[in-house]
Amino acid sequence: MRRFSAFAIAREAMRNHEGWGRTWAKRSPAKRYDVIIVGAGGHGLATAYYLGRNFGITNVGILEKGWLGGGNTGRNTTIIRSNYLQDPSAAIYEKSRGLYETLSQELNYNVMFSPRGVIMLAQTHHEVRGYKRTAHANALQGVATEWIGPERVKELCSIMNIDGPRYPVLGGLWQARGGTARHDAVAWGYARACTDMGMDIIQRCEVTGIDRDGERVTGVQTTQGPIGCDKLGIVVAGHSGVLAKMAGFRLPLESVALQALVSEPVKPCMDVVVMANTVHGYMSQSDKGEMVIGGGTDGYNNYTQRGSFHHIEETLRALVETFPMISRLKMLRQWGGIVDVTGDRSPILSRTPVEGIFVNCGWGTGGFKAIPGSGFGMAELMAKGYSPLTAAFGLERFREGRFIDESVAAGVAH
């Protein structure tokens, strides 16, 4: 596959850009693969990529019922951070954040990683104590974060009102090397690399059944015919429970919609990401000038990917005191994604009761930031049967009562 470079861009400019070719190949499914990954979103594509790069497993089929990156990967607010409290969470998210820093160079595709920094606002004394505790935990974990006072918060984000009458800003947890990336570019970059290794990406190919020989997986039934495999990775976010039921087991999670919206474009006014968990809102500014705004999940289980009026009302009402300027902006568009939430608000990267089936799910509202680390660990688990990154996130923890409680860090916002 042709590499991107300044010379290649100049050459193609002289040819009216007619020589680039497809970003990823369009193929029909083979009769059998060593590994099938169900879900061509960021996590599924990253898993396939690291299977090939790290373990030489390239006879891989990646099945997607819709279009590549059309699920949660294309519907999130692109926040990247690793300032989690629990050690297993900090390890996998910090691995992911570190991989994001060099991902554009590794994939030879610009994922537009922007290490602009992330502030998690403390607007109650309880949050002050909680974030100071997290800062100390991060120091022990080797994750670079710091507690900052309200004056420093105002310096980093001048449009913020830190003296709100209900929820004044008392400080914040600052991660200078957090930031954002371009969500669809991450999926496209991984897809391009997977194609270059000879993997098949098959879109419009819905899995309708999972074949077993006793307690072992043998393949899948799809809308494009049966496909055999030795190993199967289920990486389908909010639809994980649906595929698990096809395989004959249940997962301890529920699916809910998470909504977001963007404003009309405005001139640059905010070059950090701000999360305000007390009022359930977070905001950043995109490269196009839109204010990217999100909040909490819907209060009921559902599979909708649409927006709703109550989300606009609740989220903007929560944020307008801290960011008065948004009261004067028009909404440009709104959307929803289906997130899969576990009881302890931590993911599942695990073997399953069916031999040969592995599951990567339960990322809840914070899956985008974990894409490279999740794929790295999941690939190691599928190839070797064990990964230190995923060891704590097995299904057995729910039976054993060994929870990884990240409800404060992950249960509200990204």
Burial of residue 313 (CB within 10 Å: 0-12, 13-18, 19+) is: exposed
Residues spanned by the domain of 384: 21-82+84-109+183-252+344-410
Q: How far apart are CA 169 and CA 124, in angstroms?
A: 8
Do 105 and 71 belong together in one domain? yes
Domain's final residue, options 342, 362, 387: 342
- Please check whether residue 356 lies inside any domain of the structure: yes
- Asked whether residue 62 is domain-assigned, the answer is yes
Question: What pLDDT is recorded for position 412?
Answer: 47
Task: Report pTM.
Answer: 0.94
CB atoms within 10 A of CB 213: 10
Please name every residue paired with 337 in a beta bridge, in sequence order, or none if there are none.
Answer: 258
pLDDT at 408: 55
Please state, in angstroms and rounded to a whole number, the distance separating the CA atoms of residues 149 and 39: 43
Q: In the chain, which stretches have pLDDT less than 70? A: 408-414
Q: What is the CATH number of the domain that holds 158?
A: 3.30.9.10
For 59, the token pair is 């006879």
Cα 297 to Cα 93, 133, 259, 378, 411: the distances in Å are 21, 26, 7, 26, 9
Supply the pLDDT for residue 207: 97
Q: Does 311 lie in the same domain as 191?
A: no
State the Cα–Cα distance between residues 63 and 61, nearest whole angstrom: 6
Total H helices, total E strands in the chain: 12, 18
Structure tokens at 299: 């209060």
Q: By the 8 A CB rule, do 370 and 96 touch?
A: yes
In this structure, the answer to whether residues 25 and 104 fall within a common structural domain is yes
If asked whether residues 329 and 353 sit together in one domain, one would say no
Whether 90 and 37 map to the same domain: the answer is yes
Tell me whether strands 348-351 and 32-38 are parallel, antiparallel or unpaired.
Answer: unpaired
Among residues 342, 365, 380, which one ends one of the domains? 342
Query: Pairing relation of β-strands 273-276 and 118-122?
Result: parallel
| Tens-digit pLDDT profile for residues 282-307 | 999 999 999 999 988 888 888 888 87
191 in the same domain as 102: yes
Q: Domain check: are 196 and 335 in the same one?
A: no
CATH code where residue 55 lies? 3.50.50.60
